[in-house]
Amino acid sequence: MSDAAHTISQEELVVLQKKFSEIKHAINNALAVMMALSEMSQRRPDYSEKLASTVLTKAPQIVSSLQEFTQALNEKTGPKPEAVPGPSL
């Protein structure tokens, strides 16, 4: 493939950076809630159920967001290069 196939316009780069920032913010928020619930459940075991529910809800959302971002990035940059095998021992 030519280098032109891997060129990303400034506008496309801005969109990807915005998506990345949104995902990073969502992950940070979800982890903060999970950490707070974890600490609270140590003092009050009844919070364990809320923690489990939050993890089961937020984790798939995060994975989905990361997959969407990866797909958008791959659409802009083309297929990832073939893996180079490491030395055999």
Q: Are 26 and 63 in contact (CB under 8 A)?
A: no
Tokens of 54: 């939050």
pTM for the model = 0.66
pLDDT, greater one: 7 or 88: 7
**Averaged pLDDT of the chain:** 83
| 35-73 pLDDT per residue, tens | 998 888 889 888 888 889 988 998 899 999 999 999 988
Query: How far apart, in whole angstroms, are the C-alpha atoms of residue 31 and residue 47?
Result: 16
